[in-house]
Structure 1
Amino acid sequence: MDRVNAACEYLFDMRSEQRQVAALPADIVPRALAEGYLVQERLVRKILDRFGSRPIGYKIACTNELAQKALGVDAPFFGVLMTHSSHNSPATLLGSDFTVRCAEAEFGFEMAADVRPGPVYTADTIREFIGFALPSIEIVDHRYHNWQAVGAPSLLADNAIHGAWVAGEPCAGWRDLDFARHPVSLVVNGEQTFTGSGAAVLGNPLNVVAWLANELPKFGRRLSRGDRVTTGITTDIYLARPGDQLTADFGVLGRVSLTFTAD
């Protein structure tokens, strides 16, 4: 078995068994981002087959400078959103389905048109390809003892440690919003509140969509009509527990909520 297949099988077993490790074995750990994406592609294919699922877009990780410095990278990386782990708000998720329940309030977008490869896209030029903005919460889930210690290739190989995604109602009236200044809050059990804004994600979540449009063609892909994109954490991290109720408030863009069962 080659290194990429071996890493894929190891990660798939870790997910299936919710087994935690310090790091991937040295003989199969991805040595570079490109190798990590090869592992991710095969892992996602196995996950899709297992759940009878299909891809619906992308999640972007490491969209702030602190996370990039912690992992020793100078850019984000992406994973794949899938139907079986994507939910409409309000959602109820089994707390026991996750090893880690890292809740992240994130700006989501839905593409209205295929994005042509070739041009270098910016926050301004990617706008014409976007149909809707969506309030969302991503649940990051991983099986590493310390995610900051394993490096970006190991994280992105595990589908960028994506666990689940909950999206609110699509909003068509987003074009006049200043996303960089747009406030976001994550409220936990109606008591604890974490605040942030779109400035946390590369200065503006549209910068993240533009980055993805520029990055995907390097891997033979492109953003397509109907794809959904979630752009990274806007507030401080909250590690949710079974029984928690979470609501992310995006103001005029709407709210999104989820509950973790306590079983």
Structure 2
Amino acid sequence: MSDEKRTGGAADVLWKAWTSGEQIAALPDEVRPRDDFEGFATQLAVGGHAGPPYGWKIAATTAAGQAHIGVSGPLPGPLFERFRHEPGDVLSSDGMHMRVVEAEFAYLMGTDVEPDAGPDEIVAAVDRLHLAVEVPDSRFARYETAGGPQLLADCACAGRFVLGPEVPGWAEHDLSTWGTAVWINGERAATGSGGNVLGDPRNALVWIAEDLRRYGRGLRAGELVTTGTTTAPVPVGAGDEVRADFGYLGEVAFRFAG
């Protein structure tokens, strides 16, 4: 079987699970990605079903997150336009398996990142910073044992995403020490800081720009990069009201349908 047929076949299986709400134990042997490169190629093929992406997410930016899913480092994944939401929206809770939310910082790129750009140039390519909440999900019944290549194929557990307000003067703030909290139904459920994201959300941005080079890709102007959870993932369920609090930078609030 050709590489193209393998990745296309894996993408078909994943998209069927995504849209049906059913979970799978693993991808069939004949299409299961054998390494990270096949996993990444599969997530690009999933885009043929899901529609246009508008940026990237980063999974497992904490040591605890990496240990939980058995990987040695973070994983990149696409953000699909069809699963994008705004604060105040009511998100469907149907077919939601992981049932967690994550408070995150997200960068909007103002210019393309050149292939040889260093860390300072990557950060300088940012136009804006936004507050955000990711609602990750997986098509695997036991995503924590699926392994890196299959998780990459599964779009690094991409799900729904709520893009919050822009942060004026973002470059003046030390996000590595910036406190965050997640409130569920009016009660504080978790606290954290930007330092939980590879030490600083800027580090996560640099990481994904450099990692995408392995796959012949790069960050482009207009793309959003959400950098990973600042708190432990917070459990949620149908009917829950969610508020991610970033102090005086602002907040992101929405709820799930009952």
Considering the TM-score relative to the shorter chain, is it more than 0.5?
A: yes
Find 2:22's aligned residue among 19, 32, 37: 19
2: CA distance, partners of 1:244 / 1:90: 13
Match of 1:147 in 2: 143
Match of 1:8 in 2: 11
The number of residue pairs the alignment matches comes to: 255
- Aligned partners of 1:109 and 1:131 also within 8 Å: yes
Deviations along 1:107-151, whole A, 9 cap, x unmatched? 1111111111113x32x4432111211111000111322211111
- Note the C-alpha offset of 1:97: 4.7
Match of 2:132 in 1: 136
1: CA distance, partners of 2:191 / 2:154: 28
Match of 1:40 in 2: 43
Match of 1:222 in 2: 218
SS at match of 1:168: strand
Query: In 2 relative to 1, CA 76–67 (structure 1 residues): closer, same or farther, beyond 3 Å?
Result: same
- Note the C-alpha offset of 1:21: 2.4
- Aligned partners of 1:201 and 1:208 also within 8 Å: yes
Match of 1:85 in 2: 83
Residue identity in the other structure for 1:101: R
1:168-187 alignment runs, 5 A limit = 168-187=164-183
Match of 1:201 in 2: 197
2: CA distance, partners of 1:170 / 1:242: 28
- Aligned partners of 1:100 and 1:141 also within 8 Å: yes
Residue identity in the other structure for 1:83: E
What is the TM-score with the length of structure 1 in the denominator? Answer: 0.91
Deviations along 1:154-195, whole A, 9 cap, x unmatched? 111011111111011112311111111000100001013210
Match of 1:74 in 2: 72
Query: In 2 relative to 1, CA 100–69 (structure 1 residues): closer, same or farther, beyond 3 Å?
Result: closer
Runs of 4+ in structure 1 over 6 Å off:
none
- The worse-fitting range, judged by mean Cα deviation, of 95-104 and 242-251 is 95-104
- Aligned partners of 2:70 and 2:145 also within 8 Å: no
2: CA distance, partners of 1:241 / 1:216: 34
Give ranges in structure 2 of 5+ residues lacking alignment.
none
Match of 1:51 in 2: none
Give ranges in structure 1 of 5+ residues lacking alignment.
49-53
C-alpha RMSD of matched pairs (Å): 1.6
What is the TM-score with the length of structure 2 in the denominator? Answer: 0.93
1:152-167 alignment runs, 5 A limit = 152-167=148-163
Query: In 2 relative to 1, CA 20–97 (structure 1 residues): closer, same or farther, beyond 3 Å?
Result: closer
- Aligned partners of 2:190 and 2:231 also within 8 Å: yes
Residue identity in the other structure for 1:24: L
- Aligned partners of 1:134 and 1:253 also within 8 Å: no
- Aligned partners of 1:182 and 1:197 also within 8 Å: yes
SS at match of 1:6: helix
- Aligned partners of 2:70 and 2:144 also within 8 Å: no
Match of 1:241 in 2: 237
- The worse-fitting range, judged by mean Cα deviation, of 232-241 and 22-31 is 22-31
- The worse-fitting range, judged by mean Cα deviation, of 30-39 and 94-103 is 94-103
SS at match of 2:177: coil
Identical counterparts, % of pairs: 35
